[in-house]
Structure 1
Amino acid sequence: MEIIRLNLVPSGPVSRFGSEGFSVAGVGRIQAGHLACLRLAADGRIGRHPAVGRQLLLLVSGDATVSGDDGAPVELMPGEVAVWAPGESHETTSDAGMTAFVVEGEVELSPGVS
């Protein structure tokens, strides 16, 4: 068994798309996609950009407001997952800061999940 301490995984800052207070720590790879741990500082923003593939953002802690193509803000709670379609424009902001996992690529949702 391995225990991964996410606060010790090397991460790097990201400023593309007008992002602020945003860093990404690569956690591993999956077939035809990737898994990453995202950290967003208080008052941070992951700027609007298109999803490379189907993208799932699982909020682990903190708060997040997400939006899709329509730009309508939706508050996400820890334990909830935002799912964006391939190519869908999306953005994430956080008032207090957040930690989340993102899976992006060839992801097929299980039956009954939507």
Structure 2
Amino acid sequence: MKLFRFDQSVGRSIDKFGSKNLVITPILRILERHIDVVQISSMNMNPGGLIGGHEAHGPQLFIVVAGEGFITGRENLRIPIQSGQMAFWETGEWHEVMTIKGMSAIVIESDQLSPEELLLEEIIE
């Protein structure tokens, strides 16, 4: 057995798109012909954290494992999200993530993502 860390102490700070209080730690990357097929990362957002608004460069699943915050997507609505919930953004979809108290998430990026096949979709009205 091997034991690895993916907490903030082994990650790198991100400030792209105006992001703040954000640390990302790559977990897994699968390449095919030098192109990302799957990329999995841990994102730790300290209090007041922000993943600045930008377009998703590919399908992206944001799985909250601790804490709470807000997500914004194509409709530009600020929607609460917490541990046990996830958001899915499609290629080119504008999105932003913020937290007041802090939040940790696992992010999976891949053209092969189709979470609606296995998960119950939460409808927000």
TM-score, length-scaled by structure 2: 0.82
Cα deviation for residue 105 of structure 1 reads 1.8
- The residue type equivalent to 1:16 in the other structure is K
RMSD: 1.7
Aligned residue pairs, count: 114
User: 1:77: Cα distance to partner?
Assistant: 1.5
Inter-partner Cα distance in structure 2 for 1:57 and 1:19? 16
**Native 8 Å contact 1:17 1:49 kept in 2:** yes
Question: Equivalent pairs: percent with the same residue?
Answer: 26
Structure 1 unmatched ranges of 5 or more: none
Whole-angstrom distance in 2 between the partners of 1:76 and 1:104: 19
Question: Residue 34 of structure 2 corresponds to which residue in structure 1?
Answer: none
User: Could you tell me which residue of structure 2 aligns to residue 26 of structure 1?
Assistant: 26
1:8–1:24 Cα change, 3 Å: closer
Larger Cα-atom Rg: 2
Aligned to 1:91: 96
Question: Aligned with 2:49: secondary structure?
Answer: strand
Aligned to 1:108: 114
Does the residue aligned with 1:95 lie in a helix, a strand or coil? strand
Structure 1 segments of 4+ aligned residues over 4 angstroms from their partners: none
The DSSP-based 3-state class of the residue aligned with 1:63 is: strand
Structure 2: give runs of 5+ residues left out of the alignment: 32-36
Q: Which has the higher contact order (CA 8 A, sep 6+)?
A: 1
- SS of match in other structure, 1:96: strand
Helix, strand or coil at the partner of 2:7? helix
TM-score between both structures, scaled by the size of structure 1: 0.90
